Structure formats: C-alpha cells, structure tokens
Amino acid sequence: MAADHLSLIFGALADPTRRAILARLADGETTVNELASPFDMTLPAISKHLKVLERAGLISRGRDAQWRPCRLEGGALREASDWVGRYRRFWESSYDELEALIEAGAPATGAEAPAADAPAPTETITP
C-alpha cells in the first residue's frame, strides 16, 4: 500500500461532507442528485467531492443507460483500517493500564492525591 494512496484516502475522509456521502452509500448505490439532496450545495460542488472520493478509491461511478450510479468501494476503507489497526496495541495497552489502576484503586499517573491535612472541598478557610 503506497503512502501516497493512504494520503488520498485520509484526505478524502477528513471532510465531513464526504464522510456523510460515504455513510449514505453504505446503504446502497445511488445517483448524484440523490446524494446531493440533503446538502445545501450545488451539484458541481457535490461532484467535486465525488471526484475526491473516486480518486481515493472510496467510491466508483458506473454507467447505466443515462445515469451514473455511485457505489461504495470497500478496498480503500480496508486499507485505512489496516493502517490504523497497526497502532491498536498502543491504545489497548493504555486501556489495560487504566483498568489495572482503577482495580487497584491507585491514582492515575500524573494525578496527585490530596494531602492528609488538606481541607475538605466544602470547608471554608479563614485567614
């Protein structure tokens, strides 16, 4: 998997409109007009988003008579998922450490326990 292709994929996924388009296409193929309907955008603006998604390999556009249905392509999403998955062990180990601290009743790293002579939060301190 080329780093350039991953950059295209993550760049395409970075935009909320494009993510919403992908979410809609997860329900099945549809036309550009149907994809554009929930957005307050022109058809040319939606078309630009579709071109970015298509260039990243996240969607494809076919030809069926006079309409060009758009469909989700899972391969690019799988590439992104595989890349992120390689780092899964880092966040899972953090969760495991947190769970162990909670079970032991120990304060989290960087957290300080209140001093024994510290006033309770509801006490008033007078000079």
The CATH number of the domain where 11 resides is what?
1.10.10.10
Structural domain tally of the chain?
1
96 inside domain:
no
Q: How many other CB atoms are found less than 10 A from the CB of residue 52?
A: 20
116 inside domain:
no
46 inside domain:
yes
Contact of 38 with 20, CB cutoff 8 Å? yes
107 inside domain:
no
Taking the C-alpha atoms of residue 82 and residue 16, their distance in angstroms, rounded to an integer, is 21
Predicted local confidence at residue 49, as pLDDT: 97
Amino acid at the residue 101 = L
Whether residue 102 has pLDDT greater than 80? yes
102 inside domain:
no
56: burial class by Cβ within 10 Å (0-12, 13-18, 19+)? buried
Kindly report the pTM of this predicted structure. 0.69
User: Using CA of residue 33, residue 35, residue 40, residue 42, what is the dihedral sign?
Assistant: negative
CA 35 to chain CA centroid, nearest Å:
20
Q: Which residue has the higher pLDDT, 110 or 105?
A: 105
106 inside domain:
no
Parent domain of 25: 3-80
109 inside domain:
no
Q: What are 60's strand-pairing partners?
A: 71
* Segment 50-69 mean pLDDT: 89
Range from 5-14, 45-54, 90-99 carrying the lowest mean pLDDT: 90-99
59 inside domain:
yes
